[in-house]
Amino acid sequence: MNSFEIEQFGEIVSAGYRKSNDEAVKIIGNRMFFLMALQLVILALLFVLVIPETASGCL
């Protein structure tokens, strides 16, 4: 894939995402959103669990 094809693919994906009628694009988008949400949850858990313990110095 050259850069033009990649650019076209990005436009197709974003168009399908806007219409949200293309099932494959929706599934990919949902999976990416789920992974992002999972990362945020893990980061929040790290901040809540790890940092106060290291700050107080006791487990």
pLDDT, one tens digit per residue, over 1-59 is: 577 777 777 776 676 556 655 666 677 777 888 888 899 999 888 888 877 766 666 55
- Based on the structure, what is the number of domains in the chain? 1
Separation of alpha carbons 13 and 28, rounded Å: 10
| 24 contacts: CB under 8 Å, gap ≥ 6 | 16
Amino acid letter, 49: L
Write down the pTM of the prediction: 0.41
From the list 41, 42, 19, the residue with the least C-alpha distance to 29 is: 19
H or E element: which one contains 4?
helix 3-19
Residue numbers of the domain that contains 48: 3-56
